[in-house]
Structure 1
């Protein structure tokens, strides 16, 4: 049957709810999908040229030293148009919309963001001063709006039109464990899960799935966030800290205020051929005077994706995100923000696991109150209250094993917290101090039923665990000399943990052990930054991080772990895990070259792993045995992060980044498990002189990982090379089309950190259209 005939038959027999069947070729689906949006494209492409014409100039300097700042990112709010300052701190922004006021967002690593209102038809806004941030860390704050100037992040965003967490793999020092087609668990320099502090707009996220099928990225659309703040290592003491390995905060929204009525709408759609995936999104803002309201929604779904060797079963998904943020500027110095973010997912497959997600929901609530230069000693005050409710249900009802034994696990986490922070200038320094509180309730019930006998058994895998956290923190930053800056921080944390309904078998297993516990943990960091020249920066830091074991490690009862195939039992007497980290950073940031070289060393004490319990029988189907969480004496992770962006000609840019890590279990003198292999992302980018057309070709190369831990059931992973091509067309900064091909050679491969060697997607053609009003 020919291609044309097959597509005609499919068109005649499809229903309105599902316009295409799985056996239709990608060409047919792409053509039909484009036809569906033909009117949409034509309407918004008409007369786009009249919206842009003139240039806008300005200069950016350090408010404290008055030195010019090269490499500062300047972005027109609500668009993808931006530029950066040259070595003299000067920027020239082309194709600026005329006839209307615009907002410029001025952002630079280590400085507070500034939003400037530019009057209509202005050509020069003079000098803009940036205040150094309260916290200067051995990390990076990557702002999504800067993707036109930060090559590695821009590439990651363009390579992920579906908004998934795969983009984390393309940022130096970061990796991700695939949990499903849309859920990726972050990894920073070989550390993951509870070793990291992951938040959404400062709201603590604790997965409700015992197998972490629902990490924070399952509840956020990464293509629509405003900023991504990354701390590599325990170099953050304020807020919720950074555990022993670092922190990531996904910033969804930030209000803007306007004297006159301001409205802005951003809508779009995307398509992925590899999974017949479709995604629509809408984001709007209305503001006037003291009020600002933002609303956003994303609908994302896909069928089983195809790898280089064929279809991957149980990989379909369906997600819906709805966000709302209200900002009220109470006075010139006071602001109130109220946020509500919700996410609903259903029928999400997990090919690496024996179970799938039937449904998962999250409800996030946040209230922020800011006071600038308060009467209390002239300090800036920040108050935050939040609530996170996450529910997760998974089962094996669609799997063949259900005919022998049906299994369902219902998990729930409730996190209530808040923090208070005060910031004040002290001469050439600035001090930040505050209090952080949160309360966690976690429970998970597993139910098993044998269909042939209708026999049913239930057990709490997390026995109504309660964890309470209270922390005092302080950070200080001081300019010792014009080219030398000191930053330091400390954090003291009290943690109380208890189990409300431990199983009798769990209590008997730990008969001589107190189930309740209380820890007092101290952490901190010290960093020096030296600027020998305007474009160069050298940073050295040392940090100590401490974390109390999480609810899973303390109180789990026969918790299946798909990494090594064992059932795990918690230990209430585990010692807190500790880290000492050394970080060196050498950076150059000029108009033509952005370069960074960051070697690091992490020493881990009382590293938490698993020890086999001989003679005990597992309860999960297919489990290899039973382990108990235990402390390993010491472990070490060393590595290097590298990044380069070089504008060799005005329209041509070369970029490359690489990450390498090596882990060692010092007690058993064997490799540490789950350490990502050497990986690099390199390519070339061309921008047309009009800045309307961009083409980017890239290659992601990953080395073979044969430094593995057989003791943990780990196996070696072959290296691979994946080639991608991306193109972007912009009309006046308001209409954007992105299209490209991922995995051009349709190579079959899998990532080392993923479970069960599940294959990654094969060749994928994607299309993404965005319209800004």
Structure 2
């Protein structure tokens, strides 16, 4: 399968008018390729790397969860047009680590209106890496499902100049996105800045029913970096974003998603001695979120608003050591502190509700602290054999800061020391193929959303009664390449002790024991220089051993079949996504998304989509597509049920339908 190598384009008109030379980079200039990505494949054991700037089908993503759902093994807990919660191999929430340029961010909404991926416009990043399973310890604590890294890659310039990239996207239901990114500098340093804007109206399902789903998002980022030599980089960066989003699944909408970020990082690489690399980062993320029932809809009676916020401060320091030529060790530590607060207002008028929360004092309800130490080693036994292993220990503390009347555990503290680790063997064969087997263990501290519910002991707080979740998982598979053929097969089997399950019908968090298994199968066949067939299959099976039931919120079997054509400046493709019925469910149970619970069985469906691309110049790319060509009416198994919103289709006690036929067009330009 071809690797994605793509720069997309920008609006460098101000730079062009200054007459600055284009920059000479320390790597070959990459040109735009017209191939539309439909299912990124693993390129090494349990790792998927993909270019978020590449055009995709379905319609190019506007947030992180929307982007991840194109990767085999991922699903999304849907609630309308935006801000779904990503699910990897049936695991969601804090089981899946989401890092933005190495930084952890947690949403403020108690109902998960704003998961971490809600603050991501994928195309503003240069690279997305997915690490599946508990098979690394370098990127945080308790990540039993895996880790997703959204990263910007700013390289040293060889001479003074500039580069820019950006894009425009337009589509059905008022979809319009803009993205621009510009870098100016020279060998000693650089300035990089960019911005995004994404908007859409309410969409309609295949039957023409309107779904309450409009959104508007914007983001900006800027960085100043020093690069005194090829090995060193120091960067101070900042980001600011905001927006609004209508939700079909609940009685309120999100009318403010403000994120403020500042970060300072240092790295020195390729030093060549015992200490080969050193890198560190400190950061702060502040999220200020407002939800109400009157800005984007008409309230029934009472006007209500809620304004939670969350401040996360953290840091990470690591060093890569080379004790011997065949031995590499990464050692380091990380820390994170976050504080969650809230305030609200209500009244018989919009003004009363708005003034009510603005005039109210913010009340802290919970705070967390974590310190971790880790070590991860790679032993190269031979040219074809290697062993990778790691271990970490995390010191966790949580404090229940709620008033005594609101929580039976008010003023209490939960302290734990939790270990994690893994060991994996990899062997290359056949020239460019690899097989592997690994065993991993991850222990996860209960998060904010799980602790805020009622406890299994019958009390009104699960803060102390919820035990840490412990996952032990076996991963095995192969990445095989032979001539025009490519195959990636991965399977996993896990035992989860004290799996944290929420029963939404009883507003209760409890621990159960569970078994999970499944895998992904991906294949490609370049049967002609211009033609390639691709396919993928993903399956998850989960069982709640304590109750003798299926594990809740597990996606059904899903297959993707694609046929792609690429010749010269032209490309075309077809994608058929097929999803099987899901008859395994635990009605009323689920995860941390508000009322994100199993509703019953779902039928299968198939969605057909087409795309085409044209590259009139190496720096310009035009792509277009039609998603859901047959205008099928369908809902995802993990979609939530809806609220009764005047002027929109009612999805009360049934899953929210997905968009009908969607046309889209994307223009990109890359200059460097």
Q: Same fold (TM over 0.5)?
A: yes
| Structure 1 stretch displaced more, 708-717 or 723-732 | 708-717
* Cα deviation 1:622-656 (Å, max 9, x = unaligned): xx5x4221211x10111120111110110000000
Going from structure 1 to structure 2, the CA distance change for 1:320 and 1:100 (only over 3 Å counts) comes to closer
Deviations 1:533-555 (A, max 9, x none): 21221010010001110122224
Q: Which residue of 2 is the match for residue 142 of structure 1?
A: 49
Answering whether residue 107 of structure 2 is matched by residue 207 of structure 1, we say: yes
1:308 alignment partner in structure 2: 206
2:438 — aligned with what? Answer: 541
- 1:179 is displaced (CA, Å) by 4.1
Give yes or no for the alignment of 1:499 onto 2:410: no
Equivalent residues in 2 for 1:540-689 (5 A)?
540-556=437-453, 569-590=461-482, 592-610=484-502, 626-632=506-512, 634-688=513-567
Paired with 1:660 and 1:643, the residues of 2 have a C-alpha distance of 12
Equivalents in 2 of 1:699, 1:281: separation in Å? Answer: 29
Q: Could you tell me how far apart the structure 2 residues matched to 1:240 and 1:750 are?
A: 34
- Seen in structure 2, the aligned counterparts of structure 1 residues 406 and 257 have a Cα distance that, compared at 3 Å, is same
Q: Is the 8 A contact 1:196 1:244 kept in 2?
A: yes
- The structure, 1 or 2, with the larger RCO (C-alpha pairs under 8 Å, 6+ apart) is 2
Deviation, structure 1 residue 446: 4.4
Contact 1:256 1:287 in 2 (8 A): no
Residues 235, 242 of structure 1: 8 Å contact kept: no
Given that 2:310 and 2:339 are in contact with CA atoms closer than 8 Å, whether structure 1 keeps it comes out as yes
The residue number in structure 1 matching 2:321 is: 424
Task: Note the alpha carbon deviations across 1:502-545, whole angstroms, 9 max, x for none.
Answer: 122234x348xx72110000000000001122122101001000
2:617 aligns with 732
2:96 is the counterpart of 1:196:
yes
How many angstroms does 1:433 deviate by?
Answer: 0.4
Whole-angstrom distance in 2 between the partners of 1:318 and 1:451? 25
Which residue is 1:172 aligned to?
72
Query: Secondary structure of 2:450's partner?
Result: helix
Counterparts in 2 of 1:375 and 1:527: CA distance versus 1, 3 Å? closer
Gaps of 5+ in 2: 11-20, 31-42, 590-597, 642-654
Conserved 8 A contact 1:233-1:242: no
CA contact (8 A) 2:486 2:523 kept: yes
CA distance in 1, matches of 2:103, 2:364: 24
Q: CA deviation at 1:489?
A: 0.5
CA distance in structure 2 between the partners assigned to 1:137 and 1:535 by the alignment? 10
Distance in 2 between residues matched to 1:589 and 1:363, nearest whole Å: 44
Alignment RMSD (CA, Å) = 3.0
Q: Of 116, 127, 143, which residue of structure 1 is paired with 2:27?
A: 116
2:119 to 219, 225, 234: 219
Structure 1 residue 219: Cα displacement? 1.4
Name 2:637's counterpart in structure 1: 752
Q: Find the residue that maps to 1:310 and give its secondary structure.
A: coil
The 3 A distance-change label for structure 1 pair 74 and 574 is closer
In the superposition, relative to structure 1, how do residues 398 and 78 fare at CA in structure 2: closer, same or farther (>3 Å)? closer
Greater shift in the superposed pair: 157-166 or 673-682:
157-166
Pairing 1:243–2:243 present? no
Do structure 1's residue 441 and structure 2's residue 339 form an aligned pair?
A: yes
Q: Does the CA-based 8 Å contact 1:330-1:336 persist in structure 2? A: no
C-alpha displacement of 1:588 = 0.9
2:584 corresponds in structure 1 to 707
1:697 aligns with 574
8 A contact 1:446–1:460 mirrored in 2 = no
The question of 1:527 aligning with 2:424 is answered yes
Question: 1 CA distance for matches of 2:559 and 2:363?
Answer: 39
Indicate the residue corresponding to 2:191 in structure 1.
293
The verdict on how the C-alpha distance between 1:457 and 1:344 changes in structure 2, with shifts beyond 3 A counting, is closer
Contact 1:583–1:598 at 8 Å: present in 2 too? yes
State how far apart, in whole Å, the 2-side matches of 1:159 and 1:447 are.
40
Aligned counterparts of 2:514 and 2:347: Cα–Cα separation in 1: 41
Partner residue, 2:249: 352
Aligned counterpart for 2:159 among listed residues 260, 273, 289: 260
Query: 2:306 aligned with 1:403, yes or no?
Result: no
> For 2:307, what is the secondary structure of its paired residue?
strand
**Which position in structure 1 is the counterpart of 2:661?**
763
Shift of 1:556: 4.9
- Asked if the contact 1:137–1:235 (Cα under 8 Å) also holds between the matched residues in 2, the reply is no
- Gap change, CA 1:77 and 1:706, over 3 Å in 2: closer
- Residue by residue over 1:159-213, the C-alpha shift from the partner in whole angstroms, topping out at 9 and shown as x without a partner, is 2325333232221111112244232321110000111111111110101111111
Q: Does 1:384 align with 2:269?
A: no
1:772 is aligned to 2:657:
no
- Corresponding position of 1:741: 626
User: Structure 2 vs 1, CA of residues 102 and 437 (structure 1 numbering), >3 Å: closer, same or farther?
Assistant: same
SS at match of 2:660: coil
Moved more, 482-491 or 330-339: 330-339
Judged with a 3 Å threshold, the aligned counterparts in structure 2 of structure 1 residues 445 and 429 are, in CA distance, closer, same or farther, namely: same
SS class of match (1:211): coil
**1:397 offset after TM fit, Å?**
1.9
Distance in 2, Cα, partners of 1:400 & 1:496: 40
Deviates more, 1:461-470 or 1:644-653: 461-470
Among 272, 278, 302, the residue aligned to 2:171: 272
After TM superposition, the structure 1 stretch with the greater mean CA deviation from structure 2, 377-386 or 480-489, is: 377-386
Equivalent pair of 2:503/2:588 in contact (CA under 8 Å):
no
- Provide the residue aligned with 1:14 in structure 2: none
Shift of 1:457: 10
- Identify if the C-alpha distance between structure 1 residues 667 and 208 changes in structure 2 by more than 3 Å, giving closer, same or farther: same
SS in structure 2 of the partner of residue 167 of structure 1: helix
1:671-718 CA-to-partner distances (Å, cap 9, x unmatched) read 111000011111100011x2x111011101111111111252531112
Asked whether the equivalents of residues 541 and 582 of structure 1 are also in contact (C-alpha less than 8 Å), the reply is: yes
Q: Against the structure 1 CA distance between its residues 738 and 332, is the aligned structure 2 distance closer, same or farther, given a 3 Å change threshold?
A: closer
Q: Please give the TM-score of this superposition, normalised by the length of structure 2.
A: 0.86
Contact 2:9 2:669 in 1 (8 A): no
Q: Distance in 1 between matches of 2:431 and 2:264?
A: 39
Residue 334 of structure 1 and its aligned partner are, at CA, apart by 2.1
Whole-Å separation in 1 of the counterparts to 2:295 and 2:545? 43
Q: 1:608 to 1:242 in 2, by over 3 A?
A: closer
Secondary structure of the equivalent of 2:157? coil
Give yes or no for contact 1:463–1:503 (8 Å, CA) kept in 2.
Answer: no
What's the CA shift for 1:420? 0.5
1:718 aligns with 2:603: yes
Q: Max radius of gyration: which structure?
A: 1
The aligned counterpart of 2:593 is none
In the alignment, which residue of structure 2 is the partner of 1:328? 226
In the alignment, does 2:391 pair up with 1:490?
A: yes
Asked whether the 8 Å contact 1:527–1:542 carries over to 2, the reply is yes
Which residue matches 2:645? Answer: none
Q: Return the structure number with greater helix share.
A: 1
Residue 413 in structure 1 maps to residue 310 in structure 2: yes
